[in-house]
Structure 1
């Protein structure tokens, strides 16, 4: 298999201080206390109505917590977190201008001494490795339907990191748009890219039985937790994640109509496909429309 890499438009936060783990545990949907160090969990930050405000992959390390977010997300999440710091010994640092991330996938890393094989470990594995003089944080992340590695590094060391990869892996560059097409075809949501903010995580594939589990129902209290507990007790939500065949140029957040009734909304479109939040009670053959054009359901809604 050829090895590919794609730079990821990103932003990032670093949370430090003696109370950092307990503090973040009370803000996020997943269980960072049970995460090994190093290790990573995907999680959402909800409002009091249980709706998604932010999604992050959160790395637990010996001395800090590193939050990897999509571009433009860090400042808003940092402001939210600082509102809740009262007596906690916690500091929130925005490192978006100092760190960069690329995604690497293929079979090359398995053959390198000291590198993990992303195919042999579950999502959430994390490692710190040295590439000559550059310290790199690796995370096992499935962005294409194949488990790969996110590489986080200092922007000041980007040239060194790329040179090392070129020498040892000779990866082929994969455009960001192609990476998104692979992701959508694999049915993997990314809440910020798919404009799923303001929705319930159970509706868009982030529940325990979804393609990107980002919640623990046993971790204790956090903002929005009461709504999550009610949904768990009630069972399935009214909406689920579906895959639609759409026209080029379809915008994320576009309404999906069945007749004159709004029955969902689209995520990011790439490669002629888009993920969508769609009503679960729709007949399988219901005609659907987005922006005046007919669309087809490619796969059934996720359970």
Structure 2
């Protein structure tokens, strides 16, 4: 199928039709996500490693000059404040955080600096985050003259493009593979034009939600909030974001107790829902022996499940076994079956 035929979605924008990527387009070629509202912080100073090591869940001693780490920030009680990732770059650390959380994390880090030689700067005015995702993302970047790093979680390097430095990071947000690009605003429009000219089209919000749910990527403020324990997200998130061997950090005591116990009381889990209408966020899930077995955080029509409804939600441990059937609290009620995992898991862990 030709590139033009894969891109058939149009949306009105200011009276003009905007062409956006379809699911098939992303699967076969690539599309791009506008993540310009994400937070990009730079931490510098001789105490930066010790300081950030005590604030975040992963072991930053494992950072390499060309490989970053996923991480998270928690309250002292182990509740999740933010996810994100850290890179060693520009004589310091680059910290990339979701739009929903970065302001609070920047404020927390700044307030935690007392006698430390640490400086926290926001790069919001200088850099934008754009993510190219899809089955041919690597080839497409090469086509426009940008050399991608290896397809390893958070492998990264810089590349000079149109006389400006872009940092390219392998970060799979969709299960199809892809790259985050930290782009100076001076060339952002030119880069977007080059991507569209190569049939890499923007991914709209609805498709982005489908792709991230199929990949098992939770979103701050939607799938988790400050009442969610970091260990309650699925196993791939826990393995890639949390260290149980690094020593003290905010929330470590509670997370270590959970780890020693072997489980939390609930976990974020995928389900296949009967019917054709995705149940709304917050819909309760019940079992024959328990009316409050869990609740749904979001649901979509999933091409990866042949058009069935894919939902994610928090379930109590007793109901996590794949194949377990639960009742969805819609009117009329529907049935949901627990899936063994995300239909197309994001590559957060090195193979």
Structure whose alpha-carbon radius of gyration is higher = 2
Q: 1:274 aligns with which of 311, 329, 346?
A: 311
Deviation per CA, 1:109-156: give whole Å up to 9, x if none: 247276236xx5321211211212221111111111122101111223
Between 1:47-56 and 1:211-220, the stretch displaced more is: 211-220
Which residue of the partner structure matches residue 162 of structure 1? 192
Q: Counterparts in 2 of 1:42-121, with a 5 A limit?
A: 42-105=70-133, 106-110=135-139, 112=142, 115-116=147-148, 121=151
Higher helix proportion: 2
Which residue of the partner structure matches residue 217 of structure 1? 244
Please, which runs of 5 or more residues in structure 2 have no aligned partner? 1-27, 302-308, 343-351
Which residue of the partner structure matches residue 30 of structure 1? 58
**So what's the TM-score if we normalise by structure 1?**
0.85
Q: 2:339 aligns with which of 264, 274, 299?
A: 299
Which residue of the partner structure matches residue 176 of structure 2? 146
Offset at 1:43?
A: 1.0
Q: 1:185 aligns with which of 214, 235, 246?
A: 214
1:16 to 1:239, Cα distance in 2 relative to 1, 3 A: same
Q: Secondary structure at the match of 1:22?
A: helix
Distance 1:234 1:287 in 2: 29
Distance 1:22 1:192 in 2: 29
Distance 1:291 1:47 in 2: 38
Distance 2:44 2:331 in 1: 46
1:24 to 1:144, Cα distance in 2 relative to 1, 3 A: same
Distance 2:220 2:264 in 1: 17
CA contact (8 A) 2:98 2:220 kept: no
CA contact (8 A) 2:278 2:311 kept: no
Offset at 1:100?
A: 1.6
Which residue of the partner structure matches residue 288 of structure 1? 328
Which residue of the partner structure matches residue 202 of structure 2? 173
Q: Secondary structure at the match of 1:232?
A: helix
Q: Counterparts in 2 of 1:2-13, with a 5 A limit?
A: 2-8=29-35, 9-13=37-41
Which residue of the partner structure matches residue 14 of structure 2? none
Deviation per CA, 1:13-57: give whole Å up to 9, x if none: 222222112211111101122111233211111111111011112
Deviation per CA, 1:139-198: give whole Å up to 9, x if none: 11111112210111122321122234345x431222132022011023232344423432
Offset at 1:211?
A: 7.8
Offset at 1:210?
A: 4.6
CA contact (8 A) 1:44 1:53 kept: yes
Distance 1:290 1:68 in 2: 38
**So what's the TM-score if we normalise by structure 2?**
0.75
Between 1:176-185 and 1:1-10, the stretch displaced more is: 1-10
Deviation per CA, 1:217-271: give whole Å up to 9, x if none: 11121001011111111112221221235645723xx253426743334334443
Matched, 1:124 2:164: no
Distance 2:60 2:151 in 1: 19
